[in-house]
């Protein structure tokens, strides 16, 4: 039963369904296609609120690497081991795992679907990846390797 808590800025987008994915660090038990994604605000606090009921079904799980140079690489697997992570951090090819590097328009779409929008969001996706990277550098270290979970 994967459960995910979202910061307040993402709550409206999770509720209206326009945020249809999340990028998370690896967990001990990786999420799997077919499981329910339980989506909350304020987990482990007295303000805990379920955002979507019924919980959506996870439709895809990939590994994702966000590199310091701005590249985003998607790996067609839901789990990487420690040696693979070192390769992924450098944007390298992992034996037996298909991967691709996202072009600029796809990075913008990825960021928009993940809830990174311009202040007066009108559905414009161009430049959303820049919004994501600015936030990411404040809250995470780069390179980042984890899961891209879609519902």
Query: Which pTM value belongs to this model?
Result: 0.92
Query: What total number of domains does the chain contain?
Result: 1
Report yes or no: 59 and 34 within 8 Å, Cβ to Cβ. Answer: no
Give yes or no for residue 137 having a pLDDT over 90.
Answer: no
Give yes or no for residue 150 having a pLDDT over 90.
Answer: yes
pLDDT at 124: 85
For residue 146 the two structure tokens come to: 């984890």
Give yes or no for residue 85 having a pLDDT over 80.
Answer: yes
What is the mean pLDDT of the segment spanning 69-80?
A: 94
Mapped onto helix, strand or coil, the DSSP state of residue 83 is helix
Give yes or no for residue 121 having a pLDDT over 80.
Answer: no
Q: Which domain holds residue 54?
A: 3-150
């Amino acid at each position: 039963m994967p459960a995910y808590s979202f910061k307040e800025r993402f709550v409206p987008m999770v509720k209206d369904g326009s945020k249809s994915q999340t990028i998370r660090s690896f967990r001990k038990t990786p999420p799997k296609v077919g499981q329910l994604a339980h989506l909350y605000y304020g987990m482990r606090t007295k303000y805990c609120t379920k955002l979507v009921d019924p919980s959506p079904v996870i439709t895809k799980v990939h590994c994702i690497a966000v590199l310091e140079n701005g590249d985003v690489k998607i790996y067609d697997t839901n789990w990487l081991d420690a040696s693979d992570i070192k390769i992924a951090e450098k944007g390298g090819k992992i034996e037996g795992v298909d991967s691709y590097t996202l072009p600029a328009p796809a990075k913008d779409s990825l960021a928009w679907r993940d809830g990174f929008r311009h202040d007066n969001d009108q559905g414009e996706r161009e430049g959303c990846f820049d919004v994501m990277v600015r936030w990411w550098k404040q809250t995470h270290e780069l390179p980042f390797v984890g899961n891209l979970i879609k519902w």
